[in-house]
Chain A
């Protein structure tokens, strides 16, 4: 077994102070979008005309409060940057006492800014994107609900509160993925996402139960104080269960299958799921539970393995997809794999995982919204083989998308460069096998993103004449520009190791590990590998004629990647078919055995009744005769009793 982390570090104890002053506004962060959702859902059609404005306003309001809180938190001493707000007693059953408590610390602060900031931009974008949808008001209600649930998830002070947000996110994603439920594929995708998420939720529920039986509490602060006293086996079990939960929510192998199908939802939903909410929840959970993973090295190892497999898996899928959104979805899976890798590396990687999460939030939202803009101009066509040379038709989309592209492949200077490079660096320092695989993933990322870029914006025009690509309205391009700027500049967070120091009170400070190679060499190596990927894409895609229909005589690897690396097939064989067979068997057993017993019994009773009912012949004299017989019996019984 690899020793991925050194002997257990001192895990920082969460010791929050009560919320006062500006921090008493904390509940508003969740409250505003929640109120927005409630008003829009309960208000019905009366709110149709201004519903989207209200939804956007709620989200922006939440962002403003988040910024205020962040500024306030920065002004505090490092040791006091942890605030809790007790709203009310929620559950009090026997020993289980759960309050609806909120915890605001440097980690939540960053998440708050990301969720509300990117979420608000997506809200604004959706105003334009969903303009012609008759159910736009409902869409905004769900968006608000989604944001509120995610905020609940990252602000909760205990696992039960986190679970509330966790399930809320699952519900909102179900509603949004299946928003166009008239499409059969969308309804099926929503169901698939929901079911797979339930598998992860089982892990979450069991982990909470195990934590409660072990520590008698579910509060982060309380558990972080005493987690060192627990047995390592218990903590490993908790860690694995939490990992299962994280796999479900963050689309990690083996629970990754829902993410690609989730593209059936409207594009802003995809952006929201992939950039700001939902899939980041798993990373957040692992980082937040550092006081468990730090003490359970076995669980950490499993996290790293899962993350490495996922980052390659997603990258391979991204290489072969012709659907622009599915290609991006594969890239998301891969990038989340990087974050999980960072989180699994322990204290050294937590901060970089969060850093990559934030930069990824910027550039992935940017690219998803850009893809939505492209689809908007292409009559909702998603097949990249029918795009090409769109840079002239939609210059703004092209330029902003290019910023995101450069960021994700890790072009020097762009945000992704800083964040991904740090993770690869740390991985190499901890374990060179994982590090090399992560490096390979970076190369594949360069390949598939370049392919996507070439197919969509460069190469030759392949769309039909009746399609008229056009630039999207300002309400959609302005968020794109903002996100593009963030994609470029996201790296500033690392200036002077700011983010590492900022998160140190939560995740602890890592002892310095000397990587096997000098840092500058690693950086150059990464850039070189990415360059190879880009060049490969240029020679394989950019230099050739792109056929309108995907060629069939392709290698095994391409076929596998087109089929999501057989993720659905594996699920089908392992779960779906045995499940269906079991259900059929049980049904047959129920029909024949159980129903047979019941119907046989009832028909037996009926047959007896058919015979016995002849006694009811309607003749009053017969009845009187039986009465006399009864009298005789009673008299005889009395005599027998008296004589005995």
Chain B
């Protein structure tokens, strides 16, 4: 029972978390916690086969499917907390609480007697015993589930299938279309510009700068733009100055200040090439603290 008393609060808390978290990914992770805990409880309850299946099928396959769909639908799509249907949330909570109270109360009132235990049933091994039942008494149900699975697979394929309405575009036709677009609407003919890569880090989230110093919006992914994760090159430059000031400040207190000033001045003069302040710390004359 030790495992139970440890896991039960965790499961309840995780389940409650599913109700309140805003992001679907978090909900999926919390569900994974519940499911793995359940698997452990199965093991405690003398069901090793279900323990394995719970982990492999549920946590492994089904939850992964959820995550895949979430990736397609949009990881960032989070619920707004405002309830649109009047009275839905309090009523739901009230009824849910009522259900829980009634169920718990009625379960608590009955005495189940001493546990018989599965030692006798699992004598020849749990999996063998299950297989015996599955392929004798429940063989018809088993066959029926196979039909169900086939149907589900076919159904999923039908639902996911999209009929092609026009001929498949070839490379030549795409190229011709791009040139035509350029001629008619002046759309950019070549490939999109690459993001700005600066010495400090791999900056796919930082747009490249155009010759006049403005950022090229098309050089970063639209998804990042939608998330508001784009960092501009000038911000990066400020960042660097902050770092340098911090670096300069420290040696200024203990080492030669002129050395630091010269390095700092150099960096300020060339902000566009000053990416990766620490990389320039390889200055033999200065001691950069890490």
- CA A625 – CA B88 in complex, angstroms? 8
Interface residues of B in 51-93 (CB under 8 A from A): 85, 88, 91-92
Q: Is A473 an interface residue (CB 8 A)?
A: no
Decide if B99 touches A628 in the complex (CB within 8 Å): yes
Partner of A619, one of B85, B96, B98, B103: B85
Interface residues of A in 161-196 (CB under 8 A from B): none
Contact with A along B121-161 (1 / 0, CB 8 A): 00000000000000000000000000000000000000000
Selecting from A121-129, A233-241, A631-639, the interface stretch reads A631-639
Decide if B85 touches A621 in the complex (CB within 8 Å): yes
Q: Is A24 an interface residue (CB 8 A)?
A: no
Decide if A632 touches B88 in the complex (CB within 8 Å): no
Chain A residue with Cβ nearest B92: A625
Decide if B99 touches A631 in the complex (CB within 8 Å): yes
Chain B residue with Cβ nearest A619: B85
Contact with A along B87-130 (1 / 0, CB 8 A): 01001100110110011001000000000000000000000000
Chain A residue with Cβ nearest B84: A619
With A619-B85, A621-B88 as known contacts, state yes or no: A636 contacts B102, CB within 8 Å.
yes
Decide if B96 touches A635 in the complex (CB within 8 Å): no
Decide if A635 touches B88 in the complex (CB within 8 Å): no
Residues in chain A within 8 A of chain B (CB atoms): 617, 619, 621-622, 625, 628-629, 631-632, 635-636, 639
Chain B residue with Cβ nearest A635: B102
Partner of A625, one of B95, B98, B103: B95
Contact partners of B96 in chain A: CB under 8 A: 628
Chain B residue with Cβ nearest A629: B95
Decide if B85 touches A628 in the complex (CB within 8 Å): no
- CA A61 – CA B92 in complex, angstroms? 95
Partner of B85, one of A622, A632, A635: A622
Decide if A632 touches B98 in the complex (CB within 8 Å): yes
Contact partners of A622 in chain B: CB under 8 A: 85, 88
With A619-B85, A621-B85, A625-B88 as known contacts, state yes or no: A632 contacts B106, CB within 8 Å.
no
Q: How far is the CB of B276 from chain A (nearest CB, A)?
A: 52
- CA A628 – CA B88 in complex, angstroms? 12
Residues in chain B within 8 A of chain A (CB atoms): 85, 88, 91-92, 95-96, 98-99, 102-103, 106
Contact partners of A629 in chain B: CB under 8 A: 95
Q: Which 10 residue pairs of A and B lie closest in terms of their CB atoms, listed nearest first? A: A628-B95, A619-B85, A635-B102, A632-B98, A632-B99, A625-B92, A629-B95, A632-B95, A622-B85, A625-B91
Q: How far is the CB of B45 from chain A (nearest CB, A)?
A: 25
Contact partners of A639 in chain B: CB under 8 A: 102, 106
- CA A368 – CA B154 in complex, angstroms? 92
Question: Given known contacts A629-B95, A639-B102, what 14 new A-B pairs fall within 8 Å (CB)?
Answer: A617-B85, A621-B85, A622-B85, A625-B92, A625-B95, A628-B95, A628-B96, A632-B98, A632-B99, A632-B102, A635-B99, A635-B102, A635-B103, A636-B102
Contact partners of B106 in chain A: CB under 8 A: 639
- CA A619 – CA B88 in complex, angstroms? 11
- CA A617 – CA B85 in complex, angstroms? 10
Chain B residue with Cβ nearest A636: B102
- CA A564 – CA B106 in complex, angstroms? 96
- CA A463 – CA B102 in complex, angstroms? 110
Contact partners of A619 in chain B: CB under 8 A: 85, 88
Chain A residue with Cβ nearest B96: A628
Q: How far is the CB of B93 from chain A (nearest CB, A)?
A: 11
Contact partners of B95 in chain A: CB under 8 A: 625, 628-629, 632
- CA A619 – CA B86 in complex, angstroms? 11
16 A-B pairs with C-beta separation under 8 A? A617-B85, A619-B88, A621-B88, A621-B92, A622-B85, A625-B88, A625-B91, A625-B95, A631-B99, A632-B95, A632-B98, A632-B99, A632-B102, A635-B102, A635-B103, A639-B102
Q: How far is the CB of A623 from chain B (nearest CB, A)?
A: 11
Contact partners of A628 in chain B: CB under 8 A: 92, 95-96, 99
Contact partners of A632 in chain B: CB under 8 A: 95, 98-99, 102
- CA A628 – CA B100 in complex, angstroms? 12
- CA A617 – CA B88 in complex, angstroms? 12
Contact partners of B103 in chain A: CB under 8 A: 635
Contact partners of A625 in chain B: CB under 8 A: 88, 91-92, 95
- CA A107 – CA B31 in complex, angstroms? 108
Q: How far is the CB of B111 from chain A (nearest CB, A)?
A: 15
Contact partners of B102 in chain A: CB under 8 A: 632, 635-636, 639
- CA A632 – CA B99 in complex, angstroms? 6
- CA A631 – CA B92 in complex, angstroms? 13
Q: How far is the CB of A135 from chain B (nearest CB, A)?
A: 67
Contact partners of B99 in chain A: CB under 8 A: 628, 631-632, 635
Q: How far is the CB of A637 from chain B (nearest CB, A)?
A: 11
- CA A619 – CA B89 in complex, angstroms? 13
- CA A635 – CA B95 in complex, angstroms? 12
Chain B residue with Cβ nearest A642: B106
Contact partners of A631 in chain B: CB under 8 A: 99
- CA A621 – CA B91 in complex, angstroms? 11
- CA A636 – CA B105 in complex, angstroms? 12
Q: How far is the CB of A159 from chain B (nearest CB, A)?
A: 75
- CA A631 – CA B96 in complex, angstroms? 11
- CA A476 – CA B102 in complex, angstroms? 106
Q: How far is the CB of A354 from chain B (nearest CB, A)?
A: 92
Chain B residue with Cβ nearest A639: B106
Contact partners of A635 in chain B: CB under 8 A: 99, 102-103
Chain A residue with Cβ nearest B102: A635
- CA A621 – CA B103 in complex, angstroms? 22
Q: How far is the CB of A628 from chain B (nearest CB, A)?
A: 5
Chain B residue with Cβ nearest A622: B85
Chain A residue with Cβ nearest B98: A632
